[in-house]
């Protein structure tokens, strides 16, 4: 019961035509009270549920794809969930997929989403540089909102002001007297990393800090990477006195590295994390962080996409940039050594 029942069965039981049944189901105005009643009765009696597949064959699928690196990163989960809520209220369903920062997987997922005929896509890419990826993105047959990425530029996008975020962090540390400040962030072929590095260099120049390229670690956003890089940085003959983490998932790895070196925060080393987390807010001392609102980011992406999907006419790409906020807690102090 309810498992294999089609609109035909409904029409038959209600003794009306297919068309009438369909009209009742879709709430068309032009339908007699008598027929409507009979059809509705048949529907509940049979437990009829329209086959979404067949509906999609005709019109839109009302499915939206989302491409993130890893749903396991709590910040991304918050982003996805916020987008999902807004989209759900608009009658769309989210197809959540994870690239794991792997090119092959990203290509596969992109193809999958076009085969599945999603009406739109919220995406972050593992590389803005890669030409295969770029080609597929450009050819994507549905509206797309980029999340912290900038290619193709004809797409709507939602970004974070990472460059200014790094400035906030740097200013704070420089205020304590730090001169050797390290930055650990992701690969240069994505926007956030590039912006952070640019910001870092800008302010270093302004404040006449010597730029030691060795202190800029642009590798990946994986937590393990943060562990290795932190450990290596702190094992140098002349280690940094402060580390800025440029990535939402880096704090745990970095803390692990610091614990491995048996260093105290902030006495031996100052740390500024990126984006809030239980670890950041509840550690003793709690971590000073550059924070931005993943929930708002998710909502904004969803709204941008929704507008685009429902637009009758085309309009220029819209770009939303969210500001960051420096949340000062207890992980920064005076530099442990004089230079």
Partner DNA sequence: TTGTACGCGTTATCAA
Partner DNA sequence: TTGATAACGCGTACAA
Chain residues in the site for DNA (CB under 7 A) = 4, 6-8, 16-20, 22-23, 25-26, 29-32, 34-36, 48-51, 54-55, 57-59
- For residues 324 and 165, the answer to whether their CB atoms sit within 8 Å is yes
Rounded to a whole number of angstroms, the minimum distance from the CB of residue 20 to DNA is: 4
- For residues 95 and 65, the answer to whether their CB atoms sit within 8 Å is yes
Q: How far is CA 234 from CA 8, 212, 227, 228, 266, in A?
A: 71, 15, 11, 10, 14
Rounded to a whole number of angstroms, the minimum distance from the CB of residue 13 to DNA is: 13
Map residues 2-21 to x or -, x wherever contact with a copy of itself holds by CB under 8 A. Answer: xxx-----------------
List 277, 301, 303, 331, residue binding a copy of itself (CB under 8 A): 277
Rounded to a whole number of angstroms, the minimum distance from the CB of residue 93 to DNA is: 16
19 makes contact, choosing from a copy of itself, DNA, none, with CB < 5 to 8 Å by partner type, with: DNA
Rounded to a whole number of angstroms, the minimum distance from the CB of residue 244 to a copy of itself is: 19
251 makes contact, choosing from DNA, a copy of itself, none, with CB < 5 to 8 Å by partner type, with: a copy of itself
Residue 74 within binding range of a copy of itself, rule CB under 8 A? yes
Q: Which stretch binds a copy of itself (CB under 8 A): 18-26, 55-63, 205-213, 328-336?
A: 55-63
List 17, 19, 28, 52, residue binding a copy of itself (CB under 8 A): 52
List 15, 37, 129, 139, residue binding a copy of itself (CB under 8 A): 139
Residue 284 within binding range of a copy of itself, rule CB under 8 A? yes
Residue 61 within binding range of a copy of itself, rule CB under 8 A? yes
Length of the chain: 339
Rounded to a whole number of angstroms, the minimum distance from the CB of residue 58 to a copy of itself is: 10
* Joined tokens for residue 305: 């996409």
If the CB atoms of residues 235 and 259 are measured against a copy of itself, the closer one turns out to be 259
- Between CA 209 and CA 177 the distance in angstroms is 11
If the CB atoms of residues 55 and 187 are measured against a copy of itself, the closer one turns out to be 55
Map residues 241-270 to x or -, x wherever contact with a copy of itself holds by CB under 8 A. Answer: ----------xx--xx--x-----------
If the CB atoms of residues 2 and 210 are measured against DNA, the closer one turns out to be 2
Assign 3-class secondary structure to the chain: CCCCCCHHHHHHHHCCCHHHHHHHHCCCCCCCHHHHHHHHHHHHHHCCCCCHHHHHHHCCCCEEEEEECCCCCHHHHHHHHHHHHHHHHCCCEEEEEECCCCHHHHHHHHHHHHHCCCCEEEECCCCCCCHHHHHHHHCCCCCEEEECCCCCCCCEEEEECHHHHHHHHHHHHHHHCCCCEEEEECCCCCHHHHHHHHHHHHHHHHCCCCCCHHHEEECCCCHHHHHHHHHHHHHCCCCCCEEEEECCCCHHHHHHHHHHCCCCCCCCCEEEEECCCHHHHHCCCCCEEEECCHHHHHHHHHHHHHHHHHCCCCCCCCEEEECCEEECCCCCCCCCCCC
If the CB atoms of residues 4 and 262 are measured against DNA, the closer one turns out to be 4
Rounded to a whole number of angstroms, the minimum distance from the CB of residue 284 to a copy of itself is: 6
Binding site for a copy of itself (CB under 8 A): 1-4, 47, 49-54, 56-57, 61, 70-72, 74, 77-78, 80-81, 84, 93-96, 98, 111-112, 114-117, 139, 141, 251-252, 255-256, 259, 277-279, 282-284
């Amino acid at each position: 019961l309810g498992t294999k029942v089609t609109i035909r069965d409904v029409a038959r039981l209600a003794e009306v035509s297919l068309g009438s049944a369909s009209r009742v189901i879709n709430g068309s105005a032009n339908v007699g009270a008598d027929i409507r009643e009979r059809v509705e009765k048949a529907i509940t009696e049979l437990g009829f549920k329209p086959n979404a597949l067949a509906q999609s064959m005709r019109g839109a699928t009302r499915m939206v794809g989302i491409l993130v690196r890893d749903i396991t990163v709590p910040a991304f989960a918050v982003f996805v969930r916020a987008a999902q809520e807004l989209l759900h209220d608009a009658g769309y369903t989210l197809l959540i997929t994870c690239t794991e920062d792997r090119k092959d997987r990203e290509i596969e997922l992109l193809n999958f989403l076009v085969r599945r005929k999603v009406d739109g896509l919220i995406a972050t890419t593992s590389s803005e540089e890669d030409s295969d990826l770029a080609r597929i993105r450009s050819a994507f047959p549905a509206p797309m909102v980029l999340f912290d990425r900038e290619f193709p530029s004809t797409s709507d996008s939602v970004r974070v002001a990472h460059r200014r975020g790094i400035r906030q962090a740097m200013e704070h540390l420089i205020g304590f007297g730090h001169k050797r400040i390290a930055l650990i962030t992701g690969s240069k072929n994505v926007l956030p990393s590039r912006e952070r590095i640019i910001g870092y260099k800008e302010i270093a120049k302004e404040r006449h800090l010597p730029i030691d390229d060795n202190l800029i670690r642009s590798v990946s956003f994986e937590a393990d990477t943060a562990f290795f890089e932190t450990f290596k940085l702190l094992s140098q003959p002349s280690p940094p006195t402060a580390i800025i983490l440029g990535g939402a998932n880096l704090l745990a790895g970095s803390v692990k590295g610091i614990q491995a070196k048996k260093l105290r925060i902030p006495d031996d080393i100052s740390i500024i994390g990126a984006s809030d987390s239980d670890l950041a807010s509840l550690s003793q001392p709690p971590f000073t962080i550059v924070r931005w609102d993943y929930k708002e980011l998710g909502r904004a992406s969803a709204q941008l996409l929704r507008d685009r999907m429902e637009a009758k006419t085309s309009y220029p790409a819209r770009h939303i940039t969210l500001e960051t906020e420096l949340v000062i807690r207890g992980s920064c102090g005076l530099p442990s050594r004089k230079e």
